[in-house]
Structure 1
Amino acid sequence: MGANKTNQIILRPRKEESLKRFHPWVFSGAIAKTGQGIQEGDIVRVFSASGEFLGVGHYQVGSISVRILSFTDETINEDFYACRISSAYRMRMKIGLLHAGNNIFRLIHGEGDHLPGLIIDMYGKTAVVQAHSVGMDGDKEKIVDALQRVLGKDNLENIFYKSEGTLPFKAGIEADNDYLLGGQNVDPVALENGLRFNIDWLRGQKTGFFIDQRENRRLLEKYAAGKDVLNMFCYTGGFSVYALRGGARSVHSVDSSAKAVSLTDENIRLNFGEEPRHTSFSEDAFKFLKASTANAYDLIVLDPPAFAKHRGAISNALQGYKRLNLAALEKIKQEGILFTFSCSQAINKEQFRLAVFSAAAISGRKVSILHQLTQPADHPINIYHPEGEYLKGLVLFVE
């Protein structure tokens, strides 16, 4: 395909190496020349200084100037999206994610599925679509058409577009959260590993549920029998529900958001009815831990929101992780188990582990690592894009 010179990006000399290694980002500092009239969200073709074609992708204003969609010179249309979505769907089916007891999964995970800037989560027959780039917002109709082609009417009844809070704020796009397909008599209850959850994709965080903790919740269930469990930053109560099914003696769910606590209580009732083993608290996590009785809990879950949204916040975030884990280590019972997580992409697993190590050292307790956790298979990491590894977790045995 011949390249229109008005949509070309020309790189500086020797700035093409990362693209030749299939890394999907072009940084602004690597660009020598931008075609006349290119607007944010436009499809652009990237060339080396010597004129070699390198990739095609969405242009945006910022440090990451191009997110590469393809390293071959192809047209980005409905057929392109249908091909990528079909490939991602087949992978999810191959690894057995969709079955009688589970209809919650991530269908598209940005760079991990070679569609940077796009997230699609499935809750039963409802797809929740999030655009994280202006280009993906501009292509949403193509994406909706492709989704319908790939999934068909038997597997897809509703598409909810939820990009109001994820698009670059400087782009000035007014993206309303709304249904692009269906929306009538929608059942918000979906299944994860045989457990039912009421998903609030209309007003909830992310797409309504933290799908990335599915396998880690199942692991916690195996440790929960007979234990007193504390689930900090509980959000919709996923870890709490699994702990109760696993036979926990008691479960305390804590979140600063009264709305989150309400969702947790609703999901407990959905699975167990009135459950005397469960108590919820709408309180600040640090204050709750500080005020809690020592040795009250056999198992503690720390799954806070991202402490570092960008690299400039890393130092403060690491201090926050250290303080939080120290508070838990000081209160957990002897021979207790601590599940601790970071979902901050700006913090790597070595930095997080060092923060937890520092907390353990200050506590003076003997601590062993039982498991090192990460995101599940439907949140794949593109091997050429290691930045996609964002979820980090440790399961600790505390003597």
Structure 2
Amino acid sequence: MLATVNSFSALLPPAEHRLALRVTRQAQRTLHQGHPWLFDRSIVSQSAEGRAGDLAVIFDDRRRFLAIGLYDPSSPIRVRVLQHNAPATIDAAFLAGRLATAVERRARLAAKETTGYRLVHGEGDELPGLVIDRYDRVLVMKLYTPAWLPYVPVLLEGVAAVAPADWIVLRMSRAVQREAEPLGIVDGATLTGAPPDGPHLFVENGLRFEVDVLRGQKTGFFLDQRDNRARVETLAAGKEVLNVFAYTGGFSLYAARGGASSTVSLDISVPALEAAQRNLALNEHLPAVSACQHEYLAENAFTGLARLAKEGRRFDLVVVDPPSFAQQQSAVPGALHAYERLAKLALGVMRPGGTLVAASCSSRVSSEDFFASIRTGASRAGRVLHEFDHTAHPLDHPVRFPEMAYLKCLYALS
């Protein structure tokens, strides 16, 4: 479905319409330090009712300028801040400048061997709530706040100037979809161009992958794990590898190119594993990939690991990369228990002297708590971990404040 520019332009607030907000002392301190979020509970007074996308000017208790950002009446994050401490005109030129800076930061990734990476990482690129991913000549623009909907045409102009594409697709979080669908704007809408014939392909570190930008998780692929996939490749030579929560087989394919003797990809999703097999086929011209034995298991990770242990299956390298287990703060204790169980189960199928790679993408779970849960799981399995690395975000997923640091990964021998 094509989403017309008029669908978005009609939402744009009048240029003269601004909200004036005064905030608590604590919020003033946080904003002075450059935090990009203003929460609803921190607003002391507001000049008028606001709509999604209204520009909100934030003042301190002496009426001095603090920040300006996009207002979102439907979210506890009431304002996503675009500029701190010094006034700015938020217009096409301002947004184009932010987009150009973000693209410049990725210059070292824009190479023949890697055509899939994140162009804009929301708050990390001072465009909070906005993500743009590149898959070769296709861009996916994902919105995490309806406040960006009125600015989509302006963003498209800015993107065209610095990152030309044949097709640009709109993806939205569930909260944004609820706001957009009554306006005739749907998830997966084409913003410009047309979809390619057949599956869309991109290259990551010389490996070819297909991506479903319309229905795939996130924007179609987990670009944030690129560096960890490459690290696993260096650890895989001669190893029997188990990839848990395999999705479309990225870790398995890297391990195969790294010389693994076999890979087992375990995931509950049959369509994801079918995509993993297609990704394998795209790379079978590589001798190491074709020489590796590949197995695919469509099964729940917990029951699958328990079954493999009961059957006496053992592996030299086990990768555990689950989805976020803690969408809400109240889910954190359960998430930590799940990580602990996974570590215990994973070590139950890992040979002595093997390598465990355990990752978490839950922003509400701290690195310290995640690593502690893995250690507890190891202890329950009767194993001692010899940790040799902890990794975080790649270059194209920059972190500007603590809440952004969602990705963490532990490497250990046991």
Q: TM-score range by the shorter chain?
A: over 0.9
The Cα of 1:166 is off from its aligned counterpart by 5.7
1:157 aligns with 2:173: no
Letter in 1 for 2:67: G
3-state SS of 1:378 partner: coil
The Cα of 1:141 is off from its aligned counterpart by 1.3
1:70 aligns with 2:83: yes
Residues 343 and 13 (structure 1), Cα distance of their counterparts in 2 relative to 1, 3 Å cut: closer
Contact kept, 8 Å, 2:118 with 2:133, in 1: the verdict is yes
Residue of structure 2 aligned with 1:222, choices 210, 231, 234: 234
Q: Which residue matches 2:210?
A: 198
Residue of structure 2 aligned with 1:390, choices 392, 406, 410: 406
1:290 aligns with 2:306: yes
The Cα of 1:172 is off from its aligned counterpart by 7.0
3-state SS of 1:226 partner: coil
Question: Could you report, residue by residue, the CA deviation over 1:158-184 in whole angstroms, capped at 9, with x for unpaired residues?
Answer: 111111536274787664121111114
3-state SS of 2:163 partner: helix
Contact kept, 8 Å, 2:332 with 2:364, in 1: the verdict is yes
Residue of structure 2 aligned with 1:239, choices 246, 251, 257: 251
Letter in 1 for 2:166: E
**Residues of 2 paired with 1:286 and 1:129: CA distance?**
34
Residue of structure 1 aligned with 2:97, choices 58, 70, 83: 83
The Cα of 1:285 is off from its aligned counterpart by 0.6
Residues 295 and 365 (structure 1), Cα distance of their counterparts in 2 relative to 1, 3 Å cut: farther
Bigger drift between 351-360 and 275-284 goes to 275-284
Spell out the pairing of 1:1-399 with structure 2 (5 A cutoff): 7-13=19-25, 15-60=27-72, 61-71=74-84, 72-93=86-107, 96-152=108-164, 156-163=165-172, 165=174, 167=176, 169=178, 175-176=185-186, 177-185=188-196, 188-272=200-284, 277-292=293-308, 293-294=311-312, 296-382=314-400, 385-398=401-414
Letter in 1 for 2:351: K
Contact kept, 8 Å, 1:233 with 1:304, in 2: the verdict is yes
**Residues of 1 paired with 2:175 and 2:263: CA distance?**
33
The Cα of 1:381 is off from its aligned counterpart by 0.6
Question: Could you report, residue by residue, the CA deviation over 1:203-255 in whole angstroms, capped at 9, with x for unpaired residues?
Answer: 11110000000010000001111110010111111001101101111101011
**Residues of 2 paired with 1:14 and 1:244: CA distance?**
52
Question: Could you report, residue by residue, the CA deviation over 1:291-327 in whole angstroms, capped at 9, with x for unpaired residues?
Answer: 0044511001100000001211101110111111110
Aligned residues: 389
The Cα of 1:37 is off from its aligned counterpart by 2.9
Letter in 2 for 1:179: T
User: What's the TM-score once normalised by structure 1's chain length?
Assistant: 0.93
Contact kept, 8 Å, 2:18 with 2:55, in 1: the verdict is no
**Residues of 2 paired with 1:311 and 1:113: CA distance?**
25
3-state SS of 2:87 partner: coil
**Residues of 2 paired with 1:339 and 1:13: CA distance?**
43
User: What's the TM-score once normalised by structure 2's chain length?
Assistant: 0.90
**Residues of 2 paired with 1:351 and 1:117: CA distance?**
26
3-state SS of 2:27 partner: coil
Letter in 2 for 1:123: Y
Letter in 2 for 1:333: R
Contact kept, 8 Å, 1:16 with 1:54, in 2: the verdict is yes
Letter in 1 for 2:78: S
Contact kept, 8 Å, 1:230 with 1:299, in 2: the verdict is yes
Q: Which residue matches 2:4?
A: none
Contact kept, 8 Å, 2:53 with 2:147, in 1: the verdict is yes
Q: Which residue matches 2:10?
A: none
Letter in 2 for 1:160: V
Q: Can you give the 5+ residue segments of structure 1 that lack an aligned partner in the other structure?
A: none
Contact kept, 8 Å, 2:31 with 2:66, in 1: the verdict is yes
Q: Can you give the 5+ residue segments of structure 2 that lack an aligned partner in the other structure?
A: 1-14
Contact kept, 8 Å, 1:41 with 1:133, in 2: the verdict is no
Contact kept, 8 Å, 2:36 with 2:123, in 1: the verdict is yes
**Residues of 1 paired with 2:145 and 2:21: CA distance?**
18
**Residues of 2 paired with 1:367 and 1:355: CA distance?**
12
The Cα of 1:45 is off from its aligned counterpart by 0.8
**Residues of 2 paired with 1:192 and 1:6: CA distance?**
44
**Residues of 1 paired with 2:37 and 2:396: CA distance?**
22
RMSD: 1.9
The Cα of 1:10 is off from its aligned counterpart by 1.3
Letter in 2 for 1:185: P
Bigger drift between 300-309 and 4-13 goes to 4-13
Question: Could you report, residue by residue, the CA deviation over 1:89-139 in whole angstroms, capped at 9, with x for unpaired residues?
Answer: 11111xx11111111110000110001000000010111000000111221
Contact kept, 8 Å, 2:27 with 2:38, in 1: the verdict is no
Residues 166 and 228 (structure 1), Cα distance of their counterparts in 2 relative to 1, 3 Å cut: farther
**Residues of 2 paired with 1:262 and 1:32: CA distance?**
53
Letter in 2 for 1:332: M
**Residues of 1 paired with 2:373 and 2:182: CA distance?**
38
